[in-house]
Structures are given as C-alpha cells and as structure tokens.
C-alpha cells in the first residue's frame, strides 16, 4: 500500500493530486487544506472522474485533520500563497515560512518516515527551512523547482527546434528564481545532437531567458502563478520515489560540499528513488557554469538569511 499526502489543495496541490491519482502513482492520495470543505470537495470531484478516466487510486480530502495523513510514504507541501504579477517568489517568504514550518512539523508527527517534497515558494529557502527545522536525514527533504524549470526549458527548446518536447533533453540547475536559474545549454540535446549545433546563439539565448522567467510570464498571463506544469512536475518527482524509478531529476537538496557548496539547499541533478535522494550526480561544470552556480547560491543564501531575521529559524 503506497500513500501520498498533498498539503494545500489549491491550484498546484490539487493538480498534483489529480495527476498522482490519474496515473495510479499511489494507492491512496490524501489532500489536506485549511479551507473548510475544499479538499473534501476536490477529492470527490476527482473521484467522479475515475469511472471516466479509468483509475482506481483512492482519493481522500480533509480539513486540517493530520490524522488522515498518517503513515504517508511521501508528503508534498504546496501550502502557502502564490505570487501576483510584478512580484518575485522571494517576496512570499514572510507569509510562507510560518506556514511551511508548521505544516512540516504536523506532518512529521503522523508520518515520521515520510519523504518530504517542498513546493511552496521561495522554494529553495522553504526546503532549507523544512530540512533544518525537521531534523530529518538529508535524503528525505527534496525541493521541487528544477523539475519544472527543466520541463519549461525543454518546452522552449522544442518550440525553437519545431520538435516534440519528449525528444529534447535539457536540465536547469541553481535556484528556482527569476535570476538564479541556470539552464545548462551545453548539456541540452535533440535526438542526441547538442542543441548548440542546431540553434544559433541568439535563439539559444532567448530560450534561456524565456526559461528563467517562465514562471513570471505565466503569472503575468494568469494573474496568479502557474499550476498545470508545477503540479505535474511534483507528481513526476513523487512517481520516481514511489516506484523507485531512479530517474535523474534536477531537485533542490542539501549540499555538503557537492558542486562546491555547503549548508544550502539548491537545485542540482539528483538520482531519485525509494530513499528519496540516492545520489547527487556530478555533472562536470565548466568555469562559466561554475561561476553562475556560485552567484545563484549566493542569492539563495541571502534569502535563507531572512529566515533568521524573521525568527523562523
Ligand atoms: N516550486 C515550484 O516550482 C512552484 C511553487 N509554487 C508555489 O506553490 C504554492 C502554492 O501555489 P498555488 O497552489 O498556486 O496557491 P493556491 O493559493 O491556489 O493554493 C494554496 C493553498 O494552500 C492552502 N493553505 C494555506 N495555509 C495552509 C496551511 N497552514 N495548511 C494547509 N493548507 C494551507 C490554502 O488554503 C490554499 O488552498 C505557492 O507558494 C507558489 O508560489 C507554485 C508553482 C510552482
Ligand atoms: O512563478 C511562480 O511564482 C510559481 C513558480 O514557482 C513557477 O511557476 O515556477
């Protein structure tokens, strides 16, 4: 019996739960929210698609009742406010830090063995907060950002190449911020060919720029931040854990010297399996990529410092 809880049944959480159930990733999917009746309603609505779509995962919704989340294998934290057009993710820290810290503590009481996937923004800092405040081993706390950013990178690459996104490889490391993301163009390929051999430098630079502000672009269009790709990206990560797929996925994890960084959670390529973080994969970065990574880490650290200023860490 596998069980996944999604905390926050808003746009991202409900989409994630829906993808998990539809793909039968877990036997049971629990959604928990503070808004009375919302999780219950969304769970029932999703269950009423089962006969149409043909899945048999159990879906449960509850209002702040952590007992229902007991013994989850994986818990996805999406609770917190999203940004509005013109805002950065970092501006959400004041509200979301308190929410993430209290939710993570409640989760641990009922699911002491769970692997925690943090989605709430600013995600790198919320992952660091969850890791530091829960005291779990570092393989058990994973931030979801690079998974989504890499999918957006592949989307923009596929548009430039006029190709199918599933035939494009590409990964984004670094922080999950408008200026901290690092789409690794040198490692991106289409049908095994480096994309730099196919696209001109100007086109590739635009793909990188569009990827970095991918979330901001959608926030401008939607009036709130995106949810289809974020929810699917979180579910993709959960699937690699639950089904022990051992996919290499860019994720935000605690580093102790890897990629030249210590005491920080930031995006790097990670082998994800039933134990959560099973290996931090060492892509050999060149000098330019290393410099970008250092700059990105410095920016994430500056946001982490705010946790102390606001007394949540
Ligand atoms: N890491 C990533 O790649 C992404 C992160 N996000 C972030 O995910 C978060 C959620 O975004 P949306 O789903 O669009 O927001 P939303 O507003 O649609 O949903 C958030 C939900 O959290 C609930 N909530 C608030 N406090 C709670 C608590 N203490 N316990 C349980 N539930 C609580 C709210 O009632 C609401 O239903 C935001 O912080 C957003 O910035 C969004 C997209 C991608
Ligand atoms: O843009 C945002 O604020 C939400 C998010 O992290 C994303 O969609 O990448």
CATH code at position 69: 3.40.50.720
For residue 163, what pLDDT is reported?
Answer: 97
Residue 280 shares a structural domain with residue 205: yes
Residue 99 shares a structural domain with residue 114: yes
Which of 145, 166, 190 is the C-terminal boundary of a domain?
145
Per-residue model confidence as pLDDT tens digits over 150-173:
999 999 999 999 999 999 999 999
10 is in an annotated binding site: yes
User: What is the domain count for the chain?
Assistant: 2
Position in ligand 1 atom list of the atom nearest CA 12 = 13
Per-residue model confidence as pLDDT tens digits over 28-42:
999 999 999 999 999
Q: Is 108 in the pocket of ligand 2 (CB under 6 A)?
A: no
What residue numbers bound the domain in which 110 lies?
A: 3-145
Which of 86, 119, 145 is the C-terminal boundary of a domain?
145
CATH code at position 233: 3.90.110.10
**Strand residue runs (E) in the chain:** 3-7, 28-33, 58-63, 74-77, 115-118, 141-143, 168-169, 172-174, 181-183, 189-190, 193-194, 247-256, 262-273, 276-280
Residue 238 shares a structural domain with residue 107: no
Q: What ipTM does this complex have?
A: 0.99
Q: Is 148 in the pocket of ligand 2 (CB under 6 A)?
A: yes
Per-residue model confidence as pLDDT tens digits over 237-256:
999 999 999 999 999 999 99
Residue 42 shares a structural domain with residue 139: yes
Q: Is 177 in the pocket of ligand 2 (CB under 6 A)?
A: no
In this prediction, the residues of the chain whose per-residue pLDDT falls under 70 are: none
For residue 270, what pLDDT is reported?
Answer: 98
For residue 189, what pLDDT is reported?
Answer: 98
For every residue of 200-211, DSSP letters joined together read -HHHHHHHHHHH
Residue 94 shares a structural domain with residue 169: no
Which of 145, 166, 185 is the C-terminal boundary of a domain?
145
Residue 156 shares a structural domain with residue 285: yes
Residue 158 shares a structural domain with residue 302: yes
For residue 169, what pLDDT is reported?
Answer: 98
């Amino acid at each position: 019996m596998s069980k996944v809880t999604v905390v926050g049944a808003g746009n991202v959480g409900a989409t994630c739960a829906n993808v998990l159930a539809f793909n039968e990733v877990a036997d049971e999917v629990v959604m928990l929210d503070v808004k009375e009746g919302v999780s219950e309603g969304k769970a029932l609505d999703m269950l009423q698609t089962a006969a149409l779509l043909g899945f048999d995962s159990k879906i449960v919704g509850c209002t702040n009742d952590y007992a229902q989340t007991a013994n989850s294998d994986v818990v996805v934290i999406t609770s917190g406010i999203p940004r509005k057009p013109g805002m950065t993710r970092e501006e959400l820290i004041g509200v979301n830090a308190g929410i993430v810290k209290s939710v993570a503590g409640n989760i641990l009481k009922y699911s002491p063995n769970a692997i925690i996937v943090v989605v709430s923004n600013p995600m790198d800092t919320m992952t660091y907060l969850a890791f530091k405040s829960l005291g779990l081993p570092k393989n058990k706390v994973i931030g979801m950002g690079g998974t989504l950013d890499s999918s957006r990178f592949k989307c923009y690459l596929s548009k430039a190449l006029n190709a199918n996104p599933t035939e494009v490889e590409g990964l984004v490391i670094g922080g999950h911020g408008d200026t901290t993301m690092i789409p690794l163009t040198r490692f991106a390929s289409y049908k095994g060919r480096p994309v730099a051999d196919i696209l001109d430098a100007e086109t590739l630079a635009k793909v990188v720029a569009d990827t970095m502000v991918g979330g901001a672009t959608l926030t401008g269009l939607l009036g709130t931040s995106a949810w289809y790709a974020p929810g699917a990206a979180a579910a993709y990560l959960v699937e690699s854990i639950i089904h022990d797929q051992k996919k290499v996925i860019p994720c935000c994890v605690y580093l102790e010297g890897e990629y030249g960084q210590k005491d920080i959670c930031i995006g790097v390529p990670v082998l994800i399996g039933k134990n959560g973080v099973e290996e931090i994969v060492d892509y050999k970065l060149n000098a330019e990529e290393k410099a970008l990574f250092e700059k990105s880490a410095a920016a994430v650290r500056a946001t982490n410092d705010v946790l102390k200023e606001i007394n949540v860490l």
